[in-house]
């Protein structure tokens, strides 16, 4: 038998066998709808039903009593690309049961009813999910993504929601090519016989990554990246005649080209920073393919050409194995999903010789690793190990605070995917229990002992540092930032109550205070869902008022909009104030006891920190407090209320601050484990906030208040929409809406007006209706720089810096602009609450001026706000 035939024989006879470490019970639609009758009107697609039936017949399926996981039918699965690619839900065989598309709050209530049911109280709930719409891609109730009892089985799993070891990234259903004879022949063919190095054929125009790859690398010779409408190349010929088969995201994160690429007889290459590869925890993509981030596109082909022949053969063989055992048919896909679902936690696969891509760094609990390099590995030392290496620490008390944090790190060691070393010798960074974390009241967690002097603890840390087994490894120690021993900068420190005078940016991590139940409670989630205009108070605080400047702030109390009271005041309930305030105040100092900071961020309002010069915000450097809260210096409390009222003038800023506060709460503060996972990533990329700053200039930002969607004009003139943010970071991911080029936009519910080439054009429809194919009509003569609408009047900043006006409904190419008032060389304008705001330059350092449109004769005055309403570029 020829070598290639022997390889294929092995790949075609993979036997899947595994032990069910947990079992699951699959509900039929009839049983599920008896519990929640409203689900009976929901449409069920064939993919979701085949998956459900396959799981029900798995060896790991059990009766309800024994099962630890309850699997629901795919009521929120609405991707119609299988079994016929094209997304047409009317194609034969796509719909298993007709009905309405259930992806709304009513469906979420039905799902919550399963979680609350007494019969299911001790069970996890598995949701089969997959939106078929680009604009509404996520479950309406985002709390499901953080609920430890909810498992999301998602087609097109995003890195910002996916929890490795908990959720499952579903494989796109295989199309007929995967099991066809052409695929079998391509697997038998030698790589040397392949005609092309790398290829892709698909829809290019709606995806910037696909367009960029095509522009950079298509050479019409051995690298072919063409649109699906290009008849110059046959899809099947490209697929089966390539050494590397490129996988690029489609309109949504996933692409049904995935299984075809794995089964192409070549080596699959995934280019995505956002999509979690299918079955990633069961069979890591890096074990059978190559993975690149979006920002590595420029070096893609260079690296593919550089891969040696032996590595190519190994990857190709593993891709064939993965095809046969995991992706070739829907039956083996379902069997693989059942296998992953039967594992209670992530089990690492055999290590691959091929380096992982840094795309893994975007997932929760994963470590950063540049492409073609190894990830940084952490090791969490137990108390027993620590005291064996450092006799000076034997018998020393470990406080409840330090013990809780260290226990959280140990729990990550059991659950994490790629960043934890199982053996000390493999680790780069070692975390040590925090013996020097000694608050005033100490309660031993599990190792009671004597209270050791700080000098003795420091000697113990030095013993660890000098031990042969820890040579060359970075030791990370926990300490109190205000009175600890963290002056030794040869260590890295997790500082509770970090003090700016001793804090080492880029080395240390400022840790938040102990999480409280309020941060992760139901009230916090409800508060985030409540519109800010429904909040009872403008600002509130209830707590201890000790310092002179805190007592000065208390003088702002007015019993109506602003409530600032001492802890002893019985007239106000602390929780009621917390959940019912637009702004929640915290006095921020270097103090590890200040759990109010966590509660304020998780309050559902906007956190306000009145801080002294010593304060280092939690995870500062990794994230910026200014991106999710309002910082006011303690030197002048009288600036507090004017500053907050200025913030309220910018609806877009309010939206971004609140949304970011929700993300920080969920990803950084809610629980000990969340704090520990954030600390690991902060240790790995301590300057992430600076790295995440946009490398392009935003010339304008707009908020669609009805949809709560943020739009931005980039300096290229293209219009983008923020679709989400990456896991454990506040950086936005942007989707192209229209190429433009646009210089300025103004939008109402009925129309969008754009300045392009200094002329005004109109699109009929709301901002969300704009697309690359939208029609634009010229609607005025003359040249302008910027637009704003007020009471049916279009205002414009002319090239001379003056302000002009026209009736919006009467605008046409035959109408002229009327001079309204002379300006001061203004180039950017906006209207809020009947006041016109203007500035002369793009950057935030420019002064902003205001004019009351009800009495324009009063003239321009310098405004106190730092940027014109709608501008939030400084937060991005």
pLDDT tens digits along 116-127: 888 888 899 999
Q: Which CATH code fits 176-324+346-362?
A: 3.40.50
**What's the pLDDT band for 103 if we cut at 50, 70, 90?**
confident
Highest averaged pLDDT of the listed ranges 82-86, 417-421, 573-577, 677-681 = 573-577
> Which residue in 137, 6, 265 sits closest to 724, CA to CA?
137
Is the backbone peptide bond immediately before 434 cis, with ω within 30 degrees of 0? no
810 and 793 in contact (C-beta within 8 Å)?
no
Residues near 688 by beta carbon (within 8 Å), at least 6 away in sequence: 621, 622, 623, 681, 682, 729
Q: Which residues pair with 95 in a beta bridge?
A: 45
β-pair partners for 787: 796
545 close to 651: Cβ distance less than 8 angstroms? no
> Would you place residue 754 in the very low, low, confident or very high pLDDT band (cuts 50, 70, 90)?
very high
pLDDT score for 593:
67
Q: Please say if the pLDDT value at position 642 is more than 50.
A: yes
Query: What average pLDDT score do residues 712-716 get?
Result: 89
Q: How many CA atoms are closer than 13 Å to the CA of 641, on its beta-carbon side?
A: 16
Q: For residue 79, is pLDDT > 90?
A: no
Residue 43 contacts residue 101 (beta carbons within 8 Å) = yes
Whether residue 633 contacts residue 816, with contact meaning beta carbons closer than 8 Å, is answered with no
Query: Residues 144-171: pLDDT tens digits?
Result: 887 889 999 999 888 888 888 889 999 9
**Which three-class secondary structure state does DSSP give residue 597?**
helix
Give yes or no for residue 563 having a pLDDT over 90. yes
- CA 160 – CA 725 distance, rounded (Å): 7
Residues of the chain within CATH 3.40.50.2000 domain(s) are 517-670
Q: What is the pLDDT of residues 177-234, one digit of tens each?
A: 888 899 999 999 999 999 899 999 998 876 888 888 887 788 778 889 988 888 889 9
Whole-structure pTM value? 0.60
pLDDT band for position 36 (50/70/90)? very high
Confidence category of residue 574, pLDDT binned at 50, 70, 90? very high
Beta-strand relationship, 719-725 and 732-738: antiparallel
Q: Beta strands 509-511 and 492-496: pairing type?
A: parallel
Whether 441 shows a pLDDT value over 60: the answer reads no
276 vs 285: CA distance, rounded Å: 9
CB 606 within 8 A of CB 657: yes
Task: For domain 517-670, give the CATH superfamily.
Answer: Glycogen Phosphorylase B; (3.40.50.2000)
Compare 663 and 608 and report the one with higher pLDDT: 608
Say whether 280 sits in a helix, a strand or coil: coil
Residues of the chain with CATH 2.120.10.30: 698-875
User: What pLDDT was estimated at residue 467?
Assistant: 92
**Architecture of the domain delimited by 698-875:** 6 Propeller (2.120)
Flag whether pLDDT at 137 surpasses 80.
Answer: no
Is pLDDT at 348 greater than 50 in this prediction?
A: no
DSSP-derived pairing of the beta strands 848-852 and 835-839: antiparallel
pLDDT tens per residue, range 277-292: 999 989 999 999 999 9
From the number of C-beta atoms within 10 Å of its C-beta (0-12, 13-18, 19+), residue 858 rates as exposed
* Mean pLDDT for the chain overall: 84
Counting other chains too, the contacts that 582-585 makes at CB distance below 8 Å and 24 or more residues apart are 582/532, 582/535, 582/537, 582/538, 582/539, 582/606, 582/648, 583/538, 583/539, 583/540, 583/607, 583/608, 583/630, 583/644, 584/539, 584/540, 584/541, 584/608, 585/539, 585/540, 585/541, 585/553, 585/609, 585/610
pLDDT at 414 over 70: no
Work out the average pLDDT over 474-486: 77
Task: Work out the burial of residue 328: count CB atoms within 10 Å of its CB; fewer than 13 is exposed, 13-18 middle, 19 or more buried.
Answer: buried
């Amino acid at each position: 038998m020829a070598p290639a035939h022997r390889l294929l024989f092995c790949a075609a006879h993979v036997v899947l066998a595994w032990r069910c470490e947990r079992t699951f019970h699959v509900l039929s639609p009839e049983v599920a709808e008896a519990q929640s009758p409203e689900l009976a009107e929901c449409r069920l697609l064939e993919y979701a039903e085949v998956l459900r039936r396959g799981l029900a017949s798995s060896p790991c399926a059990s009766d309800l009593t024994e099962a630890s996981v309850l699997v629901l039918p795919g009521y929120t699965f609405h991707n119609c690309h299988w079994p016929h690619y094209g997304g047409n839900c009317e194609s034969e065989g796509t719909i298993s049961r007709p009905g309405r598309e259930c992806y709304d709050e009513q469906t979420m209530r039905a799902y919550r009813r399963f979680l609350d049911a007494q019969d299911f109280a001790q069970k996890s709930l598995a949701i089969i999910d997959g939106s078929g719409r680009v604009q509404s891609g996520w479950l309406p109730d985002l709390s499901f993504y953080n609920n430890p009892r909810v498992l999301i089985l998602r087609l097109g799993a995003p890195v910002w929601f996916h929890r490795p070891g908990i959720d499952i990234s579903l494989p796109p259903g295989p199309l007929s090519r995967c099991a066809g004879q052409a695929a079998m022949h391509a697997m038998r063919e030698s790589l040397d016989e392949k005609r092309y190095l790398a290829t892709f054929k698909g829809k290019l125009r709606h995806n910037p990554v696909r367009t960029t790859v095509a522009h950079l690398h298509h050479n019409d010779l051995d690298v072919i990246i063409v649109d699906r409408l290009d008849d110059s190349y046959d899809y099947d010929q490209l697929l089966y005649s390539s050494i590397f088969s490129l996988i690029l995201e489609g309109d949504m994160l996933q692409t049904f080209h995935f299984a075809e690429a794995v089964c192409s007889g070549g080596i699959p290459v995934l280019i995505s920073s956002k999509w979690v590869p299918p079955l990633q925890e069961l069979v890591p993509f890096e074990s059978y393919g190559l993975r690149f981030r979006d920002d590595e596109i420029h070096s893609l082909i260079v690296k593919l050409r550089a891969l040696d022949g032996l590595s190519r053969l190994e990857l190709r063989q593993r891709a064939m194995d993965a095809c046969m055992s995991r992706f070739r048919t829907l039956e083996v896909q379902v069997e693989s999903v059942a296998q992953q679902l039967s594992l209670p936690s992530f089990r690492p696969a055999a290590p691959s010789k091929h380096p992982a891509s840094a795309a893994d760094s975007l997932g929760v609990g994963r470590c950063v690793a540049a492409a073609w390099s190894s990830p940084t590995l952490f090791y969490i030392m137990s108390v027993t190990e620590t005291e064996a290496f450092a006799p000076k620490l034997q018998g020393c008390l470990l406080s409840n605070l330090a013990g809780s944090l260290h226990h959280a790190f140990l729990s990550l060691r059991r659950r994490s995917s790629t960043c934890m070393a199982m053996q000390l010798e493999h680790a780069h960074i070692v975390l040590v229990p925090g013996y020097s974390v000694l608050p005033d009241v100490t309660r031993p967690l599990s190792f009671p002992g004597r209270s050791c002097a700080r000098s003795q603890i420091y000697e113990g840390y030095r013993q660890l540092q000098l031990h042969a087994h820890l040579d060359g490894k970075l030791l990370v120690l926990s300490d109190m930032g205000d009175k600890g021993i963290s002056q030794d900068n040869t260590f890295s420190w997790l500082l509770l109550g970090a003090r700016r005078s001793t804090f080492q940016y880029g080395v240390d991590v400022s840790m938040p205070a102990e999480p409280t139940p309020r941060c992760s409670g139901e009230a916090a989630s409800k508060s985030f869902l409540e519109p800010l205009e429904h909040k009872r108070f403008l600002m509130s605080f209830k707590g201890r008022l000790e310092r002179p400047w805190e007592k000065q702030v208390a003088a702002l109390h007015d019993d109506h909009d602003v409530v600032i009271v001492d802890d002893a005041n019985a007239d106000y309930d602390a929780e009621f104030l917390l959940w019912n305030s637009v702004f929640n105040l915290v006095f921020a100092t270097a103090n590890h006891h200040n759990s109010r900071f966590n509660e304020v961020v998780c309050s559902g309002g906007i956190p306000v920190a009145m801080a002294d010069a010593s304060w280092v915000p939690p995870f500062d450097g990794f994230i910026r407090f200014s991106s999710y809260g309002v910082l006011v210096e303690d030197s002048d409390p009288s600036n507090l209320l004017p500053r907050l009222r200025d913030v309220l003038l910018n609806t877009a800023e309010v939206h971004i601050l609140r949304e970011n506060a929700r993300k920080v709460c969920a990803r950084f503060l809610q629980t000990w484990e969340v704090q520990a996972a954030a600390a690991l990533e902060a240790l790995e990329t301590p300057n992430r906030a600076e790295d995440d700053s946009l490398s392009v200039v935003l010339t304008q930002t707009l908020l669609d208040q009805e949809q709560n969607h943020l739009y931005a004009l980039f300096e290229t003139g293209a219009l983008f929409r923020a679709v989400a943010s990456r896991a454990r970071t506040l950086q936005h991911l942007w989707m192209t809406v229209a190429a433009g080029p646009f210089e300025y936009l103004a939008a109402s519910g009925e129309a969008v007006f754009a300045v392009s080439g200094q002329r005004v054009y109109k699109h009929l429809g709301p901002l969300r209706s704009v697309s690359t194919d939208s029609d634009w009509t010229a609607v005025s003569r003359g040249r302008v720089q910027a637009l704003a609408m007020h009471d049916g009047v279009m205002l414009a900043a002319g090239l001379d810096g003056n302000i002009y006006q026209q009736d919006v409904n009467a605008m046409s190419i035959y109408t002229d602009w009327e001079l309204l008032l002379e300006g001061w060389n203004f180039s950017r304008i906006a209207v809020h609450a009947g006041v016109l705001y203007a500035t002369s330059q793009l950057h935030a350092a420019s002064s902003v001026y205001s004019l009351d449109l009800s009495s324009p004769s009063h003239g321009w005055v310098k405004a106190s706000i730092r940027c014109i309403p709608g501008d939030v570029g400084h937060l991005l």
